[in-house]
Structure formats: C-alpha cells, structure tokens
A and B are shown apart, each in its own frame.
Chain A
Amino acid sequence: EAGVAQSPRYKIIEKRQSVAFWCNPISGHATLYWYQQILGQGPKLLIQFQNNGVVDDSQLPKDRFSAERLKGVDSTLKIQPAKLEDSAVYLCASSLDGGGVRAFFGQGTRLTVV
C-alpha cells in the first residue's frame, strides 16, 4: 500500500515570496489534514478536509495561507507572502475517516524562510 506522498521535501525561500506544497493521500482516504510543526513543538492542525470540503480551518492564517483539495484527492497548501515565522515542517496526513481511525503521515516538507 502506497503511503502519503508529499513534495517537495525541502524548500528555501526569501520572505515575501510564495510557496506551494503538494500532498497525495492514501487511496480511498476521505480525510486529509495539513499540520504545521515548528521546531521544538508538536504539530498543529492548519486545515482538515473531508473529501473536498473544509471541516476545520480555525487555525489557518487565512490572510496568507490557502489550501484546496480538488476532486477530494490531492491537496495543495500555499503560503503567500511568506514570513520568517512560517519556517517549519508541513506535514500532510490522511485517514479513512476522522476521529480515532489511524491517521497516516507523509514525510513532510521542511520550509525555511530567510
């Protein structure tokens, strides 16, 4: 079974530039999550999709972050413009459904904003 795929693995950009991350969840998984993990902290949910609808985006900085999940499969997370404090690992995860069902994580994208 293929896992959650993310790209790129690493990205370095200058502040005020834009960047996009891509995630391909496990086939058949209805729920997709984007987490932000700042160095020294645990991951924090940015947005949760159920199929192609947004379930929770309460902690997404909507003035600069956006995400979409077209056709309920792949997802893209965008930051525009980036700030220094956006430097973090961005993890994508998917599950058959939400709740206590096991969530599978990708290897993440490490973003450095200079």
Chain B
Amino acid sequence: AQTVTQSQPEMSVQEAETVTLSCTYDTSESDYYLFWYKQPPSRQMILVIRQEAYKQQNATENRFSVNFQKAAKSFSLKISDSQLGDAAMYFCAYNRYGGATNKLIFGTGTLLAVQP
C-alpha cells in the first residue's frame, strides 16, 4: 500500500524568507503523481503544485518549487519570498497513474506559520 509521510508537524518562517517542507512516500508503482495542497482555515484544499513521476524536471509555480528525488522517494516543497498569506496547513499527496481508482493519499500535514 502507498503511504505518505510528513515528519514536520509545524514550521515557521519569517516573511520574505525561504522555507522547505519535507515529504517522503512509499510506493511500488513507477508512474504516479505527487502534489502539494494548501489548506487555509477556510478548510478548502487548494492545489499548490503537481509533479509527474516520469518527469525529471522539478515543477515550479511562481514562488513555489519542488525537489523531487524519485530514487529516494522524497518530494519537498520550497516556498521562496514567503508571504503572510502562505500561512496554512500544507499536505503532501500521492496519486497513482491510471487504473480505475485514483484516490489521493495524503500525509498528516505541516502547519506553516509566517512571522511578520
């Protein structure tokens, strides 16, 4: 069974600084997707960034980038120039590629605080 592990329950960063959130996963599949979702107090899960496992190039979305290490099964999120609005719960998630069932498997989350 696939699992996702986030070992940092809480992180804190100063405004305008850079922070990295860690995620490791376990799977026997070779093709899959990895995601970082943001969950603010409104509870709505918002997609931050997505990585296809077959792509060697790390995904980037403006101030957000990932470090995808397939062999190590590691998928970290780097937030540059942190802003107050980045404060939220961040979830790493895994989704297998193809097949009839394609559920997202989430980690336990990292609560990010941004200090002004």
A-side residues, CB < 8 A to B, are: 31, 33, 35, 40-45, 48, 50, 55-56, 89, 91, 93, 98-100, 102-103, 105-108, 110
Contact = CB atoms under 8 A, between A and B. Distances in A.
B97 A99 contact: yes
Contacts of B33: 99-100
Given A56-B101, A100-B50, A89 B108 contact: no
B101 A42 contact: no
Contacts, number: 64
Contact of A107 (B42, B91, B109): B42
A42 B4 contact: yes
Contacts of B96: 99
Given A42-B108, A42-B109, A56-B103, A99 B43 contact: no
B50 A45 contact: no
Interface string B87-111: 0000101011111111110111100
A89 B103 contact: no
Interface in B64-99: 91, 93, 95-99
